[in-house]
Structure 1
Amino acid sequence: MPHVRAPAPIVLCSLAVLLALGPAGRAMAQAAPPAPVSSSAASTAGTTASPAAVPTTAPAASSTPAATDPKAAASHSATAHVSEFRALRLSRLVGMPVRTAQGEPVGSVHDVIVNAANGRVRYALVSLGGKDAGGARLAPVPVGEFRMSSQRDALLLAARARPRLDPLAFAASAWSDAWLREPGRLAQLDRAWGLPARTGSAIAVRRGSTLLRRAVSTPGGEPLGQLEEVVVHLNQQRVNYAVLRLTSAAGGGGDKHVAVPMMRLRSGPAEGAALVLEVDARQLAAMPALDYAQQQNPNDRAFTAEIGRQLSRFAGVGGAGPGAARTAPQAN
């Protein structure tokens, strides 16, 4: 039997009766819940959509992935933005202004702490704008507490980190390898910032600025060239690679630049001595030269592809070669 829809006049008459009763009737009309619509009535409602209709498609998934790695969520590095940081040349990072998210000046990057054995970059030294009786002050800050400004001309310091700078600051004149390697120094910094305790010896930890313009030789003492640049990825908290300028004797003609894994470089036998690169000099001579103009933008796609090809020439791409386990475990 076909379903019969209730004629509209009946509904109108009911409303008219309630309204005729005056204020009491109007109150009853407002309080009365809407009559449920049967499925048969809904099917004959034509093209009129019900406001309570359930959508037939699932809501779109959020474009922001949920954090699934508890270690990453707990790490200070989780505050940084990969798309904003990417790679930075150390020569550009040193001296870069540091500001708050509101644009207030904090200071500038004075140096970074690098583990030359595994390429880890855990802290940046911020030169504070103010001075005390001892001159300029430096404050060690985990690199995960920064993000890049939208103009990519400054580092923005996380608000939670700002109050910790003054208590941790020390005279810039004390900044040296001896200060860095003082027993318990790094462990004290890690505790102050709530970072996981590091393991192993701090013997391989270096001031990043001392790596630039450093002479490089083979394990046998044969000069290879000079370390022209170190490229840092702050989100990954490590050195991506180093750029070596080869000598004429090493096949460079004095102006040839090649990329080498950071973990293939180790310190010489004495303080300030040439870095030692564990590689055959003939291998470097056979490598194509890096384009100097492209080196100025280490995020250029064509350039990063060439860097990948050069690093792949070393056993263990990215530096995990024979020297990787040289002094394990290392301070991270």
Structure 2
Amino acid sequence: MNPLALSLGDPAGVGPEIVVKAWQALRGSGPAFVVIGDRNVLAAASGSGAAILRRVTRASEAAEVFAEALPVIDLKLNAHVVAGKGDPAHAGAIIRWIETGVGLALSGEVSGLVTAPIAKAPLYAAGFKFPGHTEFLAELAPPSPYKGAKGPVMMLTAGDLRTALVTIHSPLSAVAATVSLERVVEVGLITHQAVQRDFGVERPRIAMAGLNPHAGEDGGIGREEIEVLRPAAQRLRELGVDCGDPKPADSLFHAAARSTYDAVICMYHDQALIPVKMLDFWGGVNVTLGLPIVRTSPDHGVAYDIAGRGLARADSLVAAIRLAAEMAERRGTDR
């Protein structure tokens, strides 16, 4: 299998440090990856300087050197980096690193893309027009429709839990208006396909979390379950998806409940992320479903407060790299 690409993310965050630590953890066993970023930033984060780095010009060289050195496609920053201080001057390079990784994945030169964390505020200050990584990736690698549904869909994974989000970074005050029958069906279709293709589950069982407390109490605490979610679940079943009616979210995530489904559709950000982080705070993974390429990332942010101090843990990035390789291998088997 071709190596993975790993975009460096925000150079002032913990990305450079955890990239080096991930290589140290995986250099003996793989999967191999090539970093797209600034070699000098990685050298400063490594503790060993440039000695552990190897500049490469093609992603295919990564596997040859991975056990001895961290391979880097060296795309330079044009501004100084201060650890813990996000800077709009870095935005152009950050975007270029992501674009390069997507291009390599679309061409097949790499088997998938793993993205280190970015911070939105410095990018917005530089004119970035997308809410986040997920939406930008969908622009660069347009999803192909699946039974009329078009991604992307954000999924978080930890252990045996997979949560797919109907809304991502919507304010809570806007969630109810955003949760439409069409969007829920779209998320369900894409999740069903992805759990089959990327996670190897032949007949996925999809659960659905209610929007309101107690899943609305038959309309006593909100009518979204009656007017939107139950019809969406029925529509999914008509389309061949094994999807249950909405259930109270407070009883969906314990071990016995998780054994009854392969993925759960969640209505808003915290409903999906809190159980994932409770289950495995350090090792959760963010997966983008519905793209023509494999894309994963750690489920945490840039952590400016500890950047440059040697404190960051690479568990989530290591898990993201391993999951990307597993997904790519399954997709390769499908071809």
Task: Give the number of the structure whose residues are more often helix, by fraction.
Answer: 2
Task: Give the number of the structure whose residues are more often strand, by fraction.
Answer: 1
Which protein shows a greater Rg? 1
Relative contact order (alpha carbons < 8 A, sep ≥ 6): 1 or 2 greater?
A: 2
Fold shared, TM-score > 0.5 on shorter chain = no
